[in-house]
A and B are shown apart, each in its own frame.
Chain A
Amino acid sequence: MADVTFTVDGKKLTAPAGTLLIEACRAHGIEIPAFCYYPGLSLQAACRMCVVRLEKVPKLQTACTTPVAEGMVVTTESPEIAQARKATIELLLGNHPLDCPVCDAGGECELQDMTFKYGAGESKFVEIKQHREEQQWSPVVFFDRPRCILCYRCVRVCGEGMDVWALGIQNRGAGSVIAPNKQDHLDCEECGMCIDICPVGALTSGAYRYKTRPWEMSHVGTVCTHCGDGCKTTLGVRRSNEGMDIVRGDNRDKSGINGDFLCIKGRYAFDFAAREDRLIKPLIRQADGQFEPVSWDEAIDFAAKKLREIRDTRGGSAIGVIGSNRTTNEESYLLQKFARTVLGTNNIDHHRTADYPAFAAALRGQNEASLRDFAAAKAILVLGGDPTEQHPGLAWQIRTSVRLHGARLYVANHESIKLRRQATAFLEIQESDYSSLIAYLSGGESALAGNNDAAAFRDAIRKEESLLVVFGQDFRGGAISALVKFGATQPNVKFACLGDYVNSRGAADMGLYPDLLPGYVPVTAAAQFTDEYGASLPTQPGLDILQMFDAAESGSLAALLVVGANPVDRYGIDAADLRNTFIIAQDMFLTETAKLASVIFPAANLYEKSGTVSNTYGDLQLVKKAADKAGVRTDFEIIVRLADAMGADIRKLVPFGKAGVRADFGQARGAQSGEVDRHGVWLAANHLDPRLSPFDPFAILDEIQRLVPAYSVPRLDLLAGNDQHLNSGLVQIEIAAPRRDLVLPSNDTLFTSGTLGRYSHTLGSVLEARKPAETAAD
């Protein structure tokens, strides 16, 4: 749209015609206060705080509903305007309990800020304030009516943003009250967006309330450890006797790939870190079968000695390694390097949640969609899966794009998924028909021929000038390449492949496969890797995860290193099959797998370490150390120490600083440095070498960037907390033979998150609250 020129407080400004005055002013650094106005939500003009004077208009006007116009002359601050705002605040404070000293929002409250700015310091009323008792609407949502200023942000974000519509307004006038959808409680997605968006302390979080004053926390922007969306979450942490505790998860600066969004997991499900049954000491199984806590040195030496003995006597092929969907790229990379160069085995795998190798092979490094692309897409095709449950951040971006940008959404699914409500066209197909659908869309022979709905669906898609195609776990192998081939027949198509966990994609990219090295390089073509490592690698593909358990049962697999995974539960492995296998587990909890181990290392979680993760859309993000727990160590450090104790050359494993100074920069980074890794930014900007420790993940990231070209993104941007899309350059692999399909979707919901989710009190309590009430017996 054409720009218009207008005057605000004597300054000439320009903005596109149609821009709301409040936005145009904010863009030029002129702050106009508002309670009800919220970018991206419908306009209310209810709080009357944003009133400004327009020349030649008799009444004050609301800047939130006034589009800028050519020649408009605006005054945003004057005694008259200040008085209007002051009077509004006086009225709000009339019924407000003024319980700021015990209010969670105290210190980050917009009503406090406005009162401070416009001054409404005098009490004008002596009557009794309206009071209502506090209400608990769900395990995570509490409501204090007296604090509510009725800005309706919560109502709108829940309805318009989330498409849940669980909040509404009851009564009228001064008796108006925000109310939940089930009389006295909420039936909703428990995302907590209403709490996040509340300008005051009316809606508070069950996980955070009364825990701290906001200024007592440090805030660390990092990445949520749960689903494959990899949303940015800001953790509020506070020093305690046991280290650094996470007190709150939220979305403070809204700068992440998730925009305004966080779901229940990103916001609340960090609480596993503080579980009372968390492992904080290394454990070794004694002769009587019981675990006994031991020192780190003892445990490391014990495990290393055993691994070395097995490797030296039975060969690397007698050892298996299972990696994680939740460790950092650097840790996954290091783990495969450790397996291949120190243990001498290609027996390495992980719980595969999507067929990323087939995706990489089909795309050949081209046209992968970032999560950011969905926020402003013109047309989106969702094939299979249920983003609302499994990728809530993606679902938010899709809804936002439909709502604010008029995007057309096409959904084909065997279930009537919730996103259907935003869809321009919904095609219900059989679960077995996804391949037929692709053939049909591509114009080939298909079981769907003659289906009128399918024909209309195809014709509509055919008209799109650009398209984002996102597909779930119904697509693997040949189906993915068929889909990508279909994409070639349409203009401007980009793809996204949905996997389950925060670094499922990274685990795949970093080569946690028995047949693929980092960047999907076949183990049979490892020349570049042997050069870089200065070591030879096993050239035969190793055992995959199921073969490893078969081998364990038959006695040919003598040792198994399990890092941040619970395959015994996931794959339903019989404990008896593993009775002769020496298992080393790195975990936070005594999981079904850890229980079978001979030695357990208590590991840090994603919130307690630094590094990078790649979400399922190939967005690379910095993970920053926020919390700390006395006794635990990162998987990175455990692997390095194991290698060291096995007599490996640490300098080869982790190519850290040449001078060899032992300093713990990588571990020290985190809470102290605020939301951006200021120290890292400074070092990188000054071309200084931050690689000073064998435990520094950035030393490994350097090596990853040399070997996996897709990962060579600007370091400074990464350190500044900006997500970087791996837009091209994944190694183009040729799949010689059909690969075994080991993809096992987790089928998580909004309230589950694999084994980790079971250790979250919040997720547990929400699941408990959602159970249908049991019918009373007799």
Chain B
Amino acid sequence: MATLTTHPDCVPVVSYRFGKGATSIDKYIELEGYEAARKAIALGPDGIITEMKASNLRGRGGAGFPTGLKWSFVPKQSPKPKYVLVNGDESEPGTCKDRLIFEHDPHSVIEGTIIAGLSVQAKMGFIYLRGEYRYLLKIMERAVEEAYAKGFLGKNIFGSGIDFDVVTQTGAGAYEVGEESALMESLEGKRGIPRIRPPFPAVVGLYGGPTIINNAETIASVPHIFRMGAAEYAKLGTERNGGTRLFCLSGHVERPGVYELPMGYNLRKMIYEVGGGIPNGKKLKAVVPGGSSTPVLLPEEIDIGMDFDQVGKAGSMLGSGGVVVLDETTCMVEFALRTMKFYRHESCGWCIPCREGTDWLEKSLTRLHNGGAVDRDIDNIRYLAENMMGRTFCPLGDAAAMPTIAFVKKFRKEFEDHLEGKGCPYRHAREAEPALV
């Protein structure tokens, strides 16, 4: 079982029940479970959305869209059924937080789903787990059964007269279905290819009905907002970035792990104090702040608060909370190549720039890393990435292009060191060390 790592600076909110046996509903109830749902029922739809807006909760999937605002876009009247959809297709390299939630606190996801449903008067919720998380499905399914048995799901939940059902589903192993509209296609049983937007899911979503779709951590945060009160929750974070989030610290740090820290926590502190710094007295080379799709930061750029706005100002993105730390032995070309291999493999193939762009970038980076490139290949890699940016059907193309542009821009010298037959200068260093990433 994967566990949460702790540090004195950690603030357990989402992770409040981790490791306490809260997979069982009785334990969950003992730890203030399902109280938030009762409160939400009392508040009614408008009250819930007011509270959500006040919490300053922003989407934990990566884009950081204000959750309360998102929910308020769902039309009150709809001829089609409304749905709540939990995006548990956690696949971004460097990110491994949602699985802890499913593993340790499945009821918080169910309770969050119920509250989201109450806010828009939906009658049904879907919890969609990544295909590779099939082993977590059992935990999730048991929790759903328990909630039905207690009358928290099904007809007349909590004796409120309101009906609400929850269904679980796993994907088939595609990163692309983490994109919300592709996830809906997948859930409907089709190829996981994104939809043309607008219309956005809040208006036309799953099976054509208005749909709330949120990341699993976002949904799991919701009950805590009602448990603590929105103002209390908001205060934990920074301005317009309420609460805490699970940061997944990995790479060259002494104590890698998932830490729950307040929004806006300093990145340098996170690496050197929470994570215990770089092992073996090595020097820091670069940090990927929010999962593989976010542009890399240099050591001199990491004195920033980890919230959506501050990381954005630093030219990167807070993303999905996957902080990858790279020391001086890392070959940045190889790192760029490993990243591109992932996106090439995961591109759904729908649109030309992403399908062909990731393919040619992988080929070019491979050749460059092996020493088979000349100077203009570096320009060409950047040219390709820049021509993918903003041109693709969905954000996957941007996710592949964005970090690539940053790698070339910030580490051009390292790219040049590979040219004209020289190959990777880090080969020997790498052979002595355990595998990266």
Residues of A within 8 A of B (CB): 43-48, 51, 58-60, 65, 83-84, 87-88, 91-92, 94-95, 124-127, 130, 149-150, 169, 171-176
Contacts and interface: CB of A to CB of B under 8 A. Distances in A.
Interface in B330-364: 344-353, 355-360, 363-364
B348 A46 contact: no
B207 to A, nearest CB: 17
A45 B316 CA distance: 28
Contact of A47 (B344, B346, B351): B351
A87 B355 contact: no
Contacts of B353: 48, 87-88, 91
Given A46-B352, A172-B176, A174-B349, 9 more contacts: A46-B350, A48-B392, A60-B391, A91-B353, A91-B384, A124-B383, A124-B384, A126-B367, A127-B364
B174 interface: yes
Contacts of A58: 390
Interface of B: 174, 176, 191, 196, 344-353, 355-360, 363-364, 367, 380, 383-384, 387, 390-393
A150 B353 CA distance: 12
B365 to A, nearest CB: 11
Contacts of A43: 196
Given A60-B391, A91-B352, A174-B355, A45 B344 contact: no
B348 A87 contact: no
B352 A47 contact: yes
A175 B349 contact: yes
A172 B347 contact: yes
A91 B349 contact: no
A45 B394 CA distance: 10
A125 B387 contact: no
B347 A87 contact: no
Nearest to A89: B352
Nearest to B373: A126
A124 B380 contact: yes
Main secondary structure of the interface of A (DSSP, over half): loop
B356 A48 contact: no
5 contacts: A44-B350, A84-B387, A87-B383, A92-B352, A94-B356
A173 B349 contact: yes
A45 B393 contact: yes
A46 B348 CA distance: 11
The 6 tightest CB contacts between A and B, nearest first, are A176-B349, A87-B387, A91-B356, A174-B359, A173-B347, A127-B363
Contacts of B367: 126-127
Contacts, number: 94
A127 B360 contact: yes
A95 B357 CA distance: 11
Contact of B174 (A60, A126, A172): A172
Residue among B346, B359, B380, B392 with max Cβ neighbours from chain A (10 Å):
B359
Contacts of B384: 87, 91, 124
A46 B347 CA distance: 13
Contact of A173 (B346, B387, B390): B346
Contacts of B347: 172-174
Nearest to A65: B196
Contact of A150 (B355, B357, B383): B355
A173 B345 contact: yes
Given A45-B351, A88-B353, A174-B355, A125 B364 contact: yes
A566 to B, nearest CB: 50
B356 A174 contact: yes
A126 B363 CA distance: 9
A48 B393 contact: yes
A272 to B, nearest CB: 42
Contacts of A44: 196, 350
A95 B434 CA distance: 36
Residue among A60, A65, A83, A127 with max Cβ neighbours from chain B (10 Å):
A127
Contacts of B356: 91-92, 94-95, 174
B360 A94 contact: yes
B346 to A, nearest CB: 7
A44 B357 CA distance: 19
A67 to B, nearest CB: 10
A447 B352 CA distance: 60
Given A45-B351, A46-B352, A173 B391 contact: no
B420 to A, nearest CB: 14
A87 B393 CA distance: 15
B349 A48 contact: no
B348 A173 contact: yes
A87 B360 contact: no
B287 to A, nearest CB: 27
Contacts of A169: 191, 349
A286 B355 CA distance: 71
B349 A84 contact: no
Contacts of A60: 390-391
B391 A125 contact: no
A173 B358 contact: yes
Nearest to A83: B387
Contacts of A88: 352-353, 387, 391
B351 A87 contact: no
A315 B412 CA distance: 102
Nearest to A177: B349
Contacts of A83: 387
B349 A150 contact: yes
A173 B354 CA distance: 8
Contacts of A84: 387, 391
A58 B389 CA distance: 12
A83 B389 CA distance: 13
Nearest to B349: A176
A359 to B, nearest CB: 44
A124 B383 CA distance: 10
A47 B390 CA distance: 14
Contacts of B176: 172
Nearest to B397: A48
Contacts of A94: 356, 359-360
Given A84-B387, A126-B367, A173 B393 contact: no
Contacts of B348: 172-173, 176
Contact of A171 (B349, B387, B391): B349
A46 B393 contact: yes
A125 B349 CA distance: 20
A87 B344 contact: no
A126 B393 CA distance: 27
A199 B192 CA distance: 25
Contacts of B391: 48, 51, 60, 84, 87-88
Nearest to A64: B196
A118 to B, nearest CB: 13
Contacts of B351: 45-48
A165 B93 CA distance: 37
A48 B352 contact: yes
A45 B364 contact: no
Nearest to A87: B387
A132 B366 CA distance: 22
A391 B97 CA distance: 60
Contact of B390 (A59, A126, A127, A176): A59
Contacts of B360: 91, 94, 124-125, 127
